[in-house]
Amino acid sequence: MKIIIRIALLLILSGCSTKHLDGAWTQTKKASYNAVTDTMTWAPAIAAVPLYLTKADDEITDYFMDNNYINEGSHETYTHISEAITLSTALLVPDDKLETKAKRFAVETGAYAVARQSTDLLSKNIHKESPNGKHNGSIGSHHAISPFAGVAMTRRNVEQMNIPEWGKNSIVGTNYLFASSYALMRVQQGGHSFADQLISMSVGNFIGLFVHDLFMMEDKEIAVGVSQNSAYMSVGVKF
């Protein structure tokens, strides 16, 4: 939680904070709505419910634990490639100002930090035993929340890139492949169940879209005004 507060303060000091309260609330509502209504937020969460209720989750998880499809020897490679794709697309978005490009990179790096802290928060406060019985924080997987937060931001970035549609789909699809492999690897290890990873996928997608849209949706300046009786300043988001 401390890191989230520090990131927020850093963004405020760098000009990435919300403006006056009305504008901030509007921006927050838009970002929340975009994140909640996105298919990759609600669909995985809904899909997890019948798996939990019918115990099908146990059967699917056991299957992947008995049949390893993902090479666990190079598991860190999956997340490094996924993050590299996300942050590369952040830099490749055509911007009129270098400052905007740098801020986009900073916002998406910050979103990864928020995702990691959210993982710790979930695993510590929602007690669910892992399939292998080694820990009691099966809800909340760093191996799913962070990668899928990155994929969500990749989607936002490629939407603004001047490349053919097949190119956009290829970039996003590749990132989904590495993110899914990283999440599935933990199912193979018994660290999280299959449905647990669907929930984490949903949380990650929400975080990625919410943080990105909260700071990148609009382009507003800092306005300074002077009236006859007072001087005032309205701070805006410059994105």
> What's the pLDDT tens digit per position in 74-112?
667 888 999 999 999 999 999 888 999 999 999 999 999
Which 8-state DSSP code applies to residue 180? H
pTM of this structure = 0.82
**pLDDT averaged over the chain?**
84
The proportion of the chain whose per-residue pLDDT surpasses 70, expressed as a percent, equals: 80
| CATH (residue range 2-234) | 1.20.144
Question: What is the largest distance, in Å, between two alpha-carbon atoms of the chain?
Answer: 76
Q: Which amino acid is at 84?
A: A
Q: Residue 5's pLDDT band (boundaries 50, 70, 90)?
A: very low
213-222 mean pLDDT: 67
Minimal CA–CA distance to 185: which of 68, 80, 77, 81? Answer: 68
pLDDT at 236: 43
Q: Which amino acid is at 223?
A: A
154-162 mean pLDDT: 96
**Tens of pLDDT along 13-26?**
444 444 455 667 88
The span from the CA of 143 to the CA of 164, in Å, is 31
Question: Is the pLDDT confidence value at 8 over 90?
Answer: no
Contacts of residue 200, defined as CB under 8 A and 6 or more positions apart, other chains included, come to 119, 122, 139, 140, 141, 143, 144, 145, 148, 183, 192
Q: Where are the alpha helices (DSSP H) in the chain?
A: 2-13, 21-37, 39-54, 56-66, 75-92, 98-125, 142-159, 165-189, 194-216
